[in-house]
Amino acid sequence: MVFSLSPTNKSVLLAITSSLLLSISMSLAKTVNSEVPTTLLVFIRSCFGILFLLPILVYNTRSITRTQNLLLHILRTIIVFSAMLCTYYAYRNLPLAFAASISMSSPLFTTILSFIILKEKINSLKLLVILIGYLGVIIVIRPSTFLLDLGTMSSILANILAACALIIVKILSRHDSTMTIMFYTNIGLVLVACVFSLDEWKLLNFIDYKIISIMGLLGVTMQFCSIIAVTHSSPSFVAPFEFTRIFFSHLIGTIIFKEIVDIYIVIGSLVILFSVYILARLEIRDKVK
């Protein structure tokens, strides 16, 4: 069982689960009617996310809403909303495997921000391993295909924003519970997304509502796994396990969207897997000391 595992192993398992859920959610986003604006997609997905949280909120309202970090929650909401817009736009306009490959730069930003903001100790060996992992990402996407179009730039910006949101989670988790963080983030997302999508509301067909509701459930579950993973460890340790998203995305892209996996993807993925394994071993070694 998950709860019988060590904190480090919990973080690993939850981070990988979060990556899998995100890959599935992004693949579903590609199947939504292309005429549906991204802001409206974020709004409806956030509404369904709140619905799935309601049973927990009803029985724990007082404890969940109690916080002394409201401004930090608001800041995180704005960052998460912006990251979601960029992410959905990128995945809806780029091949699934390609978008996932670019998104793997997020751990690098997280590690750098952890060092700058949280003052975490990142030794030269860990930094080298992370750079090796990022090299694997470069091999996958290949410089010749790395065109700075709007979709690609949106994906890169989404990674920077996601790293910022993860750092804020670590700060908030020192005082607020996981459910408190999720409550303020999801309530905030609904309010902000509603404002930005007022002029874009459209009637969706039943299939679109069904897909987006599933995305809402996956989004809440993914968020829960990601937050718990960080509370059990550090952002710099959890972040590299997002590399596993590349495997899930390539698998889904190949099976569902008939995307072709070439030799660069295979080699790059192996490099990424190697870096993640070494990072995990280094973190475990440091905790034992």
Name the percent of the chain lying above pLDDT 90.
13
* Distance, CA of 81 to CA of 187 (rounded, Å): 11
pLDDT at 147 over 60: no
What does the chain come to in residues? Answer: 289
* Distance, CA of 230 to CA of 18 (rounded, Å): 12
pLDDT at 284 over 70: no
pLDDT at 2 over 50: no
pLDDT at site 70: 92
Classify the phi-psi angles of 208: left when phi > 0, otherwise alpha if psi is within -120 to 50, otherwise beta: alpha
pLDDT at 27 over 50: yes
User: pLDDT, tens digit, for every residue of 30-66?
Assistant: 898 888 888 888 888 888 778 877 777 777 777 788 8
* Distance, CA of 15 to CA of 136 (rounded, Å): 19
Contact 228, 10 (CB under 8 A): yes
Greatest CA span in the chain, whole angstroms?
Answer: 58
User: pLDDT, tens digit, for every residue of 82-105?
Assistant: 999 999 999 888 888 778 877 777
Q: What is the average pLDDT value for the chain, to the nearest integer? A: 82
Q: Which residue has the higher pLDDT, 199 or 203?
A: 199
pLDDT at site 127: 83
pLDDT at site 6: 77
| Crossing angle (nearest 10°) for helices 245-255 and 263-288 | 150
The distance from CA 154 to its chain's CA centroid, rounded to whole angstroms, is 14
pTM (2 d.p.): 0.78
pLDDT at 277 over 70: yes
pLDDT at site 236: 67
H/E element, 102: helix 96-103
CB atoms inside a 10 Å sphere around CB 72: 18
* Distance, CA of 146 to CA of 243 (rounded, Å): 18
pLDDT at 222 over 50: yes
pLDDT at 173 over 80: yes
